[in-house]
A and B are shown apart, each in its own frame.
Chain A
Amino acid sequence: MGDVSVTDDDVVDADPAAVRREIVSAVLTMAVAISVIGFVFGVGVVSAGGSVVQACLMSMLVFTGASQFSAVSVVASGGTTGAALGGAMLLAARNTVYGLALSRILGPRFIGGSLPSRLVAAQITIDETTAMATAQHRVEDKRYAFWATGLALYVSWNTGGLIGALVGGAINPETYGLDVAFPAAYVAMVLPHLRHRRGLIAGVIGAVICLVLTPFTPVGVPILCAAAAILIGLPRPAAADEMPTEGMPL
């Protein structure tokens, strides 16, 4: 996704094939990281007393990693089903906001407008697909990035989970710095959104809200509350401060 580093002037000249190659290599990079994290999740389910079938079905049906980890860690530490569900649902709630943003970014007919395909798209509406789609400049690249990321991550997350649940064993993602792969990817993908003044302000406020709330609220709440930063979009922008359309002409 070298296009995160493309300036506004370069966009016109950006080679569509090169953009697609960058998307594919970014997707593959994320897929590798996700499969290892999925592996860790599979191990986690089994060591929390779950079965292989439970690990696989949970990954396939829930498919939003943070919620899954949250639920399993509560169960592993002896928490009730209600407690596990509460925290996981709080984390899952942000996917609603992503869906709202994505349906605007990808356009009303982004998957032929058919209900079944939109229902499929809903299942892959998560952090990574939103980030990848919104980081692209052209609307067709956004759609391509959304589907490519969703498909690759669905396969790698579930494959990793299956292997983890089957073979178990110890692998520590931190040894390879894989836990940093996610903030790294988000930094690269958020950059185009910070080029505009309002985007920058929203980003800073979101980060501060999250930082301040982390020690005082249940896991999941800080990220949800960070969404309040979008309220700075309410006032009509001054003429000199046009709203971003991802900062790029589409």
Chain B
Amino acid sequence: MTWTLIVWLAVGAYAFKVLGLVVIGSRPLPAPLERCLDLVPAALLCALVITNTFATGKDLVIDARLAGVVVVVVVVWRRVSFVVVVVLGAATAAILRQVT
């Protein structure tokens, strides 16, 4: 663990954040590009769900996480509160790991 790594990562990570939020920020972009940016949450959050559900490093794995997420998808459609959604998802995976 070198200080070089920590300093460069801190500078780089912050630069990426500032570039989007502050440097470019909310200045108007061409309309087609604005329409694309509207779709960022849909595209990236779905990708994060996939990574967090199936990926272990570079391997795709089907394990207790999938069961938890399936339960979550079902209860989200049943319109329960956020806390219940997260707790049910976590509990499903935890219980499944206990019994297998």
- A residues adjacent to B (C-beta < 8 A): 1-2, 4-5, 22, 25-26, 29-30, 33, 45, 48-51, 54, 57-58, 61-64, 67-68, 71-72, 75, 81, 84-85, 88-89, 92-104, 107-108, 115, 118-119, 121-123, 125, 127, 130-131, 134, 174-191, 193-194, 198-200, 202-207, 209-211, 214-219, 222-223, 226-227, 229-237, 243-245
Contacts and interface: CB of A to CB of B under 8 A. Distances in A.
B50 A57 contact: no
Interface in B36-55: 36-55
A210 B6 contact: no
Given A81-B5, A230-B43, 16 more contacts: A4-B82, A22-B82, A29-B87, A64-B13, A92-B16, A101-B37, A101-B38, A101-B40, A134-B41, A174-B93, A193-B45, A194-B42, A215-B58, A223-B51, A230-B39, A233-B32
Interface of B: 1-6, 8-10, 12-14, 16-22, 24-26, 32, 34-55, 57-60, 64-65, 68-69, 72-73, 76, 79-83, 85-95, 97
Given A81-B4, A122-B14, A202 B42 contact: yes
A45 B1 contact: yes
Residue from A97, A107, A233, A235 with most neighbouring chain B CB atoms (10 Å): A233
A135 B3 CA distance: 37
A190 B41 contact: yes
Contacts of A245: 38
A121 B50 CA distance: 27
B50 A210 contact: yes
Contact of A181 (B6, B55, B90): B90
Contact of A25 (B20, B50, B65, B83): B83
Given A58-B6, A72-B1, A207-B47, A230 B40 contact: yes
A244 B38 contact: yes
Contacts of A45: 1
A200 B42 contact: yes
Contacts, number: 328
Contacts of A51: 1
Contacts of B20: 95-100, 102-103, 125
Contact of A103 (B6, B26, B55): B26
A184 B86 contact: yes
A89 B9 contact: yes
Contacts of A33: 86, 90
B47 A206 contact: yes
Contacts of B79: 2, 5
Top 3 nearest A-B pairs (CB, nearest first) are: A99-B20, A99-B21, A50-B1
A175 B39 contact: no
